[in-house]
Amino acid sequence: MAKQNIINRTIGVNFNNLGLADVLVWAPFTDKVLLKLADEELAIIKQEHGYFSLTTNKLKPGDQYQFVVNGKSLPDPASLLQPGGVHGPSAAFDLKAFAWTDADWQNIPLSNYIFYELHSGTFSADGTFKGIEDKLDYLVDLGITAIEIMPVSQFPGSRNWGYDGVFPFAVQNSYGGPAALQHLVNACHQRGLAVVLDVVYNHLGPEGNYFGQYGHYFTDKYHTPWGSAINFDDAGCDEVRRYFIENVLMWFRDFHVDALRMDAVHAIRDFSPNHILREINQHVAKLTQETGRTHYVIAECDLNDTRYINPLQKDGYGFDGQWIDEFHHALRVTAGGERNGYYSDFNGIADLAEAYQNGYVYHGQYSNQRQKTFGTTTEGINGRQFVVFSQNHDQVGNRMLGERSSRLFSFEMQKLMTGAVMISPFLPMLFMGEEWSEPNPFQFFVSHSQEELIEAVRKGRKAEFADFHAEGKAPDPQDQSTFENSKISWGLLDKGQHKVMREYYKNLIRLRKSQPAFKNTNRENMSVLVNEASNTLTIQRWTDDQQVICLLNFSNHEQQVNIPAGINQWQKLLDSADPKWNGPAVAAEFISSGIAAVSPQAILIYTQHHA
């Protein structure tokens, strides 16, 4: 494998300082590759390890092109833009043409990230990057510090969650393409917002997947839920590894993205001496050394294995953080949610206490659902390495009807659940619209063009809900109405309880950002007391000069909770049951040690300063 170029993208079509197109394609399955332009075909010169290269003045930015491989005209595997979709020609794009104005931007510390996950197609009425850009001032006012964008790599049609992408380098044409994404990131930085991009390296989608006609992109050594695994350790894997490393570097270097969220890394199979995930993070570290810009890589991982988030210096994979689904699962069961499917391993408030204390609920205990001892200890790991939430695209959208918390829990319980997220020593994440109790669902949608594949997706979705004993009929993923029904309702923003909820979220985020004890992600500065009989939690957090005490009542009745003695009186910071949040009662402004009454389904927060 050629030495990795940190500073410039080398594969696909790129434009050099002379304005010439440098073309490099890996096609070991053939001895001849042609570059097909509008009115001619150019021979590409064969190099070692299955590469073909060419430098030409006949391909300009915006021109469409294809590669002819074994007599077939195919799109470029490293295409940056597919103007006609996954089956059409690729279009040349100059990554360096955009006039960035964020030279003074510095990525914010990871501990200050307050994530807002959104889907580009359903976040705004027009479903584009421009639609997101138009709402950035709203997000800043809400208190968000980082937007997290679901995958944007080119997928079939115009409706998809993004996890069926088949061109990892190409930015979805219906969202606006690569130039519009660069413009969005630049606009975010102008407003002080970091940008997180969701990427998928555990599989490629089925429709428009021409990779197997080029080279050894896949291996049959391992099985994944999506078919053949991406080849990270079999014959030909060096060039596949290079391909995905270059993809990571491109998002950081050429799109100025601040962090990547890497989908389902537990499904990536690699028994190489240096795991591909570790090698990726090694290259990210080199990029930071070269550019001086800080970048984060966050994993979605189902293994409760701290090897993924341990630093490179300790032989870990070097991820800066990971999503913690178990916090979500324990929280929802505690709030009265169902206990079937993957929720069957969670028993309520004692597990939620475990999540607060350990990040993982399972950190070495026996799991009945997995039928084995599961998880590792998280001792010594800072809370900023865990991302928690009460909703996200998976946990909403993978319900059969895609119901949000607004349809499943009372108004009071919704306030308590988000309070539980915000007071944790972990990094909080919101899912678009939850801050105003969005009523519309977020359902699974696709826009494939092949009837056999469409039917397979329908059957697959139906089978997915067997463990949840779901009754009724799942929405048709292919039907456009399923997509339209999943758009969030901006018209509700300032109406009734929706406005109240939004103001409540703003207040909670303000507390998270302003109170030293909440800003501190040191998990050692926290105590957790659980009372299973009353379904309450008492969480204390502190710094050298402040203490906060959080009383969480998940029961349907008022509960009397013990308050520890302090140097001074405790002063109220938040009461979710206050009538100003449409709640039923007002708690005392000041309390001393003794007993506090906490309203049903409420969170009550007090503070005191030592000075």
Q: Are residues 235 and 370 in the same domain?
A: yes
Active-site positions read 263, 300
Q: What percent of the chain has pLDDT over 70?
A: 98
178, two tokens: 């690569």
Considering Cα of 123, then 128, then 130, then 131, what sign does the dihedral take? negative
Q: Other C-beta atoms within 10 Å of 481: how many?
A: 11
| CA angle (379, 381, 387) in 5-degree steps | 125
Q: Are residues 129 and 190 in the same domain?
A: yes
pLDDT at residue 536 is higher than 70 = yes
Q: Are residues 173 and 212 in the same domain?
A: yes
- For residue 1, what pLDDT band results from cuts at 50, 70 and 90? very low
68-92 pLDDT, tens digit per residue, is: 999 999 999 999 999 999 999 999 9
567, two tokens: 């140097």
Q: What pLDDT does residue 228 have?
A: 83
In a domain, 331, yes or no: yes
Report which DSSP code applies to 124.
S
- Give the total number of structural domains in the chain: 3
Give the CATH number, domain containing residue 75: 2.60.40.10
Q: Are residues 287 and 372 in the same domain?
A: yes
Amino acid identity at 266:
H
Q: Are residues 221 and 314 in the same domain?
A: yes
Residues 281/252, Cβ–Cβ less than 8 Å: no
310, two tokens: 């341990």
- The b-or-e profile of 538-553 (16+ CB within 10 A means b, else e) is bbebbbeebbbbbbbb
471-496 pLDDT, tens digit per residue, is: 678 899 999 999 999 999 999 999 99
pLDDT at residue 609 is higher than 90 = no
What is the value of pTM for the model shown? 0.97
Give the CATH number, domain containing residue 543: 2.60.40.1180
In a domain, 105, yes or no: no
In a domain, 6, yes or no: no
4, two tokens: 């990795």
Alpha helices, DSSP H, located in 360-424: 393-397, 405-408, 411-422
What angle do helix axes 325-334 and 349-358 make, rounded to 10 degrees? 150
pLDDT at residue 58 is higher than 60 = yes
What angle do helix axes 237-254 and 276-291 make, rounded to 10 degrees? 40
394-433 pLDDT, tens digit per residue, is: 999 989 999 999 999 999 999 999 999 999 999 999 999 9
pLDDT at residue 468 is higher than 70 = no
Calculated CA dihedral for residues 67, 68, 69, 73, nearest 10 degrees: 90
Residues 144/196, Cβ–Cβ less than 8 Å: no
Distance (Å, whole) CA 521 – CA 426: 6
Tell me which H or E stretch contains 463: helix 451-464
- For residue 458, what pLDDT band results from cuts at 50, 70 and 90? confident
Q: What pLDDT does residue 180 have?
A: 98
8-53 pLDDT, tens digit per residue, is: 999 999 999 999 999 999 999 999 999 999 999 999 999 999 999 9
Give the CATH number, domain containing residue 309: 3.20.20.80
In a domain, 262, yes or no: yes
In a domain, 123, yes or no: yes
Q: What pLDDT does residue 467 have?
A: 62
Q: Are residues 424 and 452 in the same domain?
A: yes
Q: Other C-beta atoms within 10 Å of 260: how many?
A: 25
Amino acid identity at 212:
G
Q: Are residues 222 and 346 in the same domain?
A: yes
Full domain range(s) for residue 81: 12-91
Strands 559-563 and 296-300: unpaired
Q: What percent of the chain has pLDDT over 90?
A: 91
CB-based contacts of 106, cutoff 8 Å, min separation 6: 293, 294
Q: 3-state class of 502 per DSSP?
A: helix
Amino acid identity at 238:
D
In a domain, 191, yes or no: yes
pLDDT at residue 5 is higher than 50 = yes
137-159 pLDDT, tens digit per residue, is: 999 999 999 999 999 999 999 99
Which of 91, 124, 157 lies at the terminal end of a domain, its last residue? Answer: 91
The whole-number average pLDDT for the span 196-208 is 96
What angle do helix axes 496-514 and 411-422 make, rounded to 10 degrees? 20
In a domain, 5, yes or no: no
Q: Are residues 198 and 315 in the same domain?
A: yes
Q: Are residues 465 and 542 in the same domain?
A: no
Residues 12/5, Cβ–Cβ less than 8 Å: no
Mean pLDDT, the chain, integer: 95
